[in-house]
Amino acid sequence: MALLENMQVFVRVVDLGSLSAAGRNLRMSPALVSHRIQQLEAHLGARLLNRTTRQLQATETGQVFYQHCLEVLEAVERAHSSIAAEGGAPSGSVRVTAPLGFGRRVLGPLVPEFRAANPMVDVRLRLSDHLLDLLRESVDMAIRMATLKDSSFVVRKIADLRRVLVAAPRYLEARGRPTAPSDLLEHDCLLLRFPGTQQYRWTLTSPGKDEGKSTKLSIAGPMDADDGDVLTRWAVDGHGIALKPLWEVAEEVKSGALEIVMPEHPPEPVQLAIVYPHRALLPAKVQSLSDFLVPRVRSLLAASHPDAVL
């Protein structure tokens, strides 16, 4: 067991690139992480890491051993999952990250229902509109609402979501209603902004004979935030135009607090998906949560507005 734990520590050190980062991730002191690596090197009779004051890299032997460690740890994971598949209940902790608004409205209320059916699985929920590093944060699964690029991660699609531009009627009466995408450049646009975000690039589609074409705009505005609910509040209060998934603002649109802007030029849809680190076999605890969430999330979002889910 000690050898297996030391292998897990070694993999995390290589993944994160430092002893201190691995220690924070594993809730160990850097000294203990270093001691575990030294134990592993002594057991193998080989140096696995080259350490300098500025960087840490796996040696050639370490790189080969790292790949074997992944195979061993995956085999252990597969063995645990096979027990669950034979009737054993999934168990352990699942670390989940999700956007703030989605977590508050959709995911948060579903977690107790999942726990009632799977009492041996603990759910550790971290909500943020920032895109967290799954490896560095030791996340088991992330729910992303984005245009997902190819990566080494596994993606399980939940739904394509319709997005809209919205503003308060009083803002539009005071500033005028945009009729063409380029008109947005003269308006106060409310932006979701944080390091690495692309939300300031808005892509709008065209109707009629130009259907299928798109207009890409680099949007600027006097106010931005890293919390999507703040943008909704600003829009309702008449401070500008926001780009939002329809399900998030369906109630405000229905009540008249917000008006859909340029419905003939809607923003491109966004994909809602579950993302988890690439593995040949998911742990039973992660698979069970994923299988539980997908149909329920689809139903809840579709119920919020008939056209919310494409």
| pLDDT at 54 (0 to 100) | 67
User: In total, how many domains does the chain have?
Assistant: 3
Q: 186 and 229 in one domain?
A: yes
pLDDT for position 148: 65
- Give the list of residues 6+ apart from residue 157 with CB closer than 8 angstroms, or none: 271, 272, 273
* Structure confidence at residue 230 as a pLDDT band (50, 70, 90): very high
Q: Are residues 264 and 276 in the same domain?
A: no
Confidence of residue 151 (pLDDT cuts 50, 70, 90): low
Picking from 44-58, 96-110, 154-168, which range would have the lowest pLDDT averaged per residue? Answer: 44-58
CATH number of the domain bearing residue 177: 3.40.190.290
Mean pLDDT is lowest, of 65-69, 109-113, 254-258, 278-282, for: 278-282
Q: Please report whether residue 310 resides in a domain.
A: no
167 and 238 in a single domain? The answer is yes
| pLDDT at residue 175, as a whole number | 95
pLDDT at residue 94, rounded to an integer: 87
Contact 109, 301 (CB under 8 A): no
Quote the pLDDT of residue 51. 77
What CA–CA distances, in Å, run from 229 to 202, 261, 301? 18, 19, 17
Distance (Å, rounded) from C-alpha 87 to C-alpha 64? 36
Nearest 10 degrees: Cα torsion 111, 113, 117, 122: 20
Q: What is the CATH number of the domain that holds 299?
A: 3.40.190.10
Q: Determine the structural domain holding residue 35 and report its residue range.
A: 1-84
Shared domain for 152 and 299, answered yes or no, is yes
Residues 289, 149, single domain; the answer is yes
Please tell me whether residues 204 and 296 are part of one structural domain: no
Last-in-domain residue among 62, 84, 106: 84
Per DSSP, the three-state class of 164 is strand
How much is the pLDDT for 165?
97
User: What band does 86 get if pLDDT is binned at 50, 70 and 90?
Assistant: low
Residue 65 lies in a domain: yes
Which of 84, 115, 143 lies at the terminal end of a domain, its last residue? 84
The reported pLDDT for the residue numbered 178 is: 94
How far apart are alpha carbons 148 and 159 in whole angstroms?
13
